[in-house]
Amino acid sequence: MVFGSRQAKDTEKLLATLDQNMKEGKADYIFVDTDRLDPNSELGQVARRSEERGLGLGEDGKSDLAFTGVYKVEKGADGQYHLGNSVATFWGGRPEISAIMNDQLKYATRTVPGDGSQPDRLPPAPGADAGRPGADITPPNPDAPPQTDAEKAQAAANAKAEAEARAQAAKDQAEREAAEAQRAKEISERQYSMPEWKEGWSKFLDRAGMEAGPMRDLADKFGQQMLSGQFDGKELAGLMAKVEGLDRGGAAQMLSQVNQELQDNGVSIRATQKDGKIESLEMKSADGKLSVLVDQNGNVSARNDMVSTGESPEQISLRLAKKIEADACP
């Protein structure tokens, strides 16, 4: 879903890029003009999701930058399909967005019946190309001429390729689940040293697809210090100062996939920004009762609303660390 307008920067460039690269994806590809969008419609409500958490454009449902989201399709209590949680979100019109979107589609289709490739499909969006993969198939026309031998052979080849693709997807999923079970077993049977914990966090950021650069360096060092419970606020403040030139929502965008991976563990990382720079970085539990925050001046503060006795930032950070994904905090 691309939310943009004539006033939103990068809209035209983004649409051209996605149109070229998303035609073969297992998804309906829809453009939403925020200047004409009914704020009370379902799409209007999606646009008005929290900007702070990287889920939408904010309360007014508008932005000076194009905004793109990959969303799961979920069947509601009314028996109808609706847009569910976002799998990935993007601000602006960076050329790599289409490649990342194609990669993230497997997460969006995981909970759709038939892995998003079999019956129980959504009808195509208005104007969608009904002949592309993933769209509903148009019933055969009884008055149409019979298929030629070449057309029959092509149809058989297409059916075979689709069956092989489904079988391969099922095999890949089984292998992923087996690998995850084995990794969990290995983690539970051995002791990890602190260097291995820190290396695990860096590998987690790799799996989350966080791009190299100053923001990645900051998130990496912050996570390592969270795991150890030993903070160097001045070092983190120095890394914050190197992150500059952020677009609106840029910090949330850079952390969006990391938070997507962390959400099942009940924690998230939030960066506040002003004038294109980072003001603070915070890790907190989903219920908001535990949090550790470092500001641009190197000050470290922490909160634990679960206990009445005071705890140090180090003790609170270790409580949060236990929630982090297994490879990062075995």
DSSP 8-state symbol, 293 = E
Output the pLDDT for position 95: 66
Rank 21-30, 171-180, 247-256 by mean pLDDT and report only the highest.
247-256
Distances in whole angstroms, Cα of residue 1 to Cα of each of 67, 233, 238, 254, 304 = 8, 39, 37, 19, 38
Is residue 47 within 8 Å of residue 57, measured between CB atoms?
yes
Rank 51-60, 63-72, 266-275 by mean pLDDT and report only the highest.
266-275
Residue 200's pLDDT band, with cuts at 50, 70 and 90, is confident
One-letter amino acid identity for 142?
P
Q: What is the mean pLDDT of residues 76-86?
A: 83
Is residue 292 within 8 Å of residue 277, measured between CB atoms?
no
Output the pLDDT for position 71: 81
Strands 2-4 and 300-304: unpaired
Distance, in Å, from the CA atom of 283 to the CA atom of 302, rounded to the nearest integer, reads: 10
Q: What 3-state DSSP class applies to 300?
A: strand
Taking the CA atoms of the chain, what radius of gyration do you get in angstroms?
23
Q: Mind listing the pLDDT tens digit for each residue in 238-260? A: 999 999 988 888 899 899 988 88
Scan for tokens 């490879």, then name that residue: 327
Find all residues with CB under 8 Å of 140, minimum gap 6, and list them.
Answer: none
More confident residue, 139 or 325: 325
Distances in whole angstroms, Cα of residue 168 to Cα of each of 105, 113, 162, 177 = 16, 17, 10, 14
Residue 87's pLDDT band, with cuts at 50, 70 and 90, is confident
Find all residues with CB under 8 Å of 211, minimum gap 6, and list them.
Answer: 254
Output the pLDDT for position 115: 45
Q: What is the mean pLDDT of residues 54-60?
A: 78
Closest Cα to residue 126, out of 29, 12, 13, 40? 29
Q: What percent of the chain has pLDDT over 90?
A: 14
Q: What is the mean pLDDT of residues 193-207?
A: 80
User: Which tokens belong to 154?
Assistant: 């092509």
Distance, in Å, from the CA atom of 6 to the CA atom of 9, rounded to the nearest integer, reads: 8
Scan for tokens 């490649």, then name that residue: 99
Closest Cα to residue 312, out of 219, 231, 233? 231
Distance, in Å, from the CA atom of 57 to the CA atom of 39, rounded to the nearest integer, reads: 12
More confident residue, 149 or 32: 32
DSSP 8-state symbol, 284 = E
Rank 8-17, 77-86, 293-302 by mean pLDDT and report only the highest.
293-302
Is residue 298 within 8 Å of residue 241, measured between CB atoms?
no
- What's the whole-model pTM score? 0.46
* Span of 18-27, 131-140, 309-318 with lowest mean pLDDT: 131-140
How many CB atoms are located within 10 Å of the residue 305 CB?
11
Find all residues with CB under 8 Å of 299, minimum gap 6, and list them.
Answer: 233
Distance, in Å, from the CA atom of 29 to the CA atom of 311, rounded to the nearest integer, reads: 49
Q: Cα-flanking dihedrals φ and ψ of residue 25, to 5°?
A: -80, 155
The count of C-alpha atoms lying within 13 angstroms of the C-alpha of 190, restricted to the half-sphere facing its C-beta, is 12
User: Which tokens belong to 259?
Assistant: 């938070």
Distance, in Å, from the CA atom of 95 to the CA atom of 270, rounded to the nearest integer, reads: 25
Distance, in Å, from the CA atom of 115 to the CA atom of 207, rounded to the nearest integer, reads: 22
Q: What percent of the chain has pLDDT over 70?
A: 72
Q: Mind listing the pLDDT tens digit for each residue in 111-164? A: 555 444 433 333 333 333 333 333 333 344 455 566 688 877 877 787 787 777
End-to-end, the C-alpha distance of the chain in Å comes to: 36
User: Which tokens belong to 256?
Assistant: 């969006």
Is residue 282 within 8 Å of residue 270, measured between CB atoms?
yes
